């Protein structure tokens, strides 16, 4: 009679349910008394020697303009590059800016080049079909990201300069680096 009462009270059903849950956990490997699973042994990653890249050859502090370029009095040319490796030549005519550019080179200051893009080629800035307006070139430690663009990107999108690309034509490449002053070519002996 007690077995009937236990079943009616649900005790037997409860005991059966606990056994069913324990059996399911065991079937899934989730038993509460099972020892923790050992971590799987994996092979160590292969040892790869680091790639050694030779340092770039230093850029001479002074370069030469092409023989076809004859600077007028007061004109000085400088070369800059970016992290992408493109080089760009610009002209300065303002004595203060020329002095600043030389100081940047002498002291290796991390100033950026800023200026207004003119969408016409100049023979001193080949192969690019644009140049910087010499009267607008400045140097700055901080620049606005909205006027940043790669040299090659500007070349590919010249028709957009001043509109969707570089509002008002103002260009301030964040990765620009003043490389060197370019002197007139030496006459052939």
Coil, strand, or helix at residue 107?
A: helix
pLDDT at res. 156: 96
pLDDT at res. 37: 59
pLDDT at res. 7: 47
Q: d(Cα 117, Cα 131) in Å, to the nearest integer?
A: 6
pLDDT 10s digits, 43-83: 666 665 555 544 554 555 568 888 788 899 999 999 999 98
Residues 6+ away with beta carbon under 8 Å from 55: none
Q: Looking at residues 105-117, what average pLDDT do you find?
A: 95
The pair of structure tokens assigned to 182 is: 């370019």
pLDDT 10s digits, 131-149: 999 999 999 999 888 999 9
Bridge partners (DSSP) listed for residue 181:
62, 78
């Amino acid at each position: 009679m007690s077995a009937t009462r236990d079943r009616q009270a649900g005790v037997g059903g409860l005991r059966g349910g606990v056994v069913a849950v324990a059996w399911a956990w065991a079937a899934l490997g989730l038993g509460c008394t099972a020892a923790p699973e050992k971590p799987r042994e994996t092979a160590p990653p292969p040892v790869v020697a680091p790639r050694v890249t030779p340092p770039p050859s230093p850029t001479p502090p002074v370069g030469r303009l092409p023989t076809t370029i004859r600077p007028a009095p007061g004109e000085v040319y400088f070369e800059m590059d970016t992290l992408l490796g493109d080089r760009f030549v610009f002209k300065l005519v303002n004595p203060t800016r020329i002095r600043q550019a030389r100081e940047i080179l002498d002291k290796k200051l991390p100033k950026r080049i800023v200026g207004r893009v003119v969408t016409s080629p100049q023979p001193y800035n080949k192969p690019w079909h644009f140049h910087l307006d010499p009267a607008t070139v400045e140097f700055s430690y901080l620049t606005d990201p909205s006027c940043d663009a790669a040299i090659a990107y500007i070349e590919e999108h010249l028709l957009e300069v001043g509109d969707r690309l570089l509002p008002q034509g103002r260009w301030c490449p964040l990765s620009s680096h003043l490389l060197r002053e370019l002197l007139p070519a030496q006459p052939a002996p």
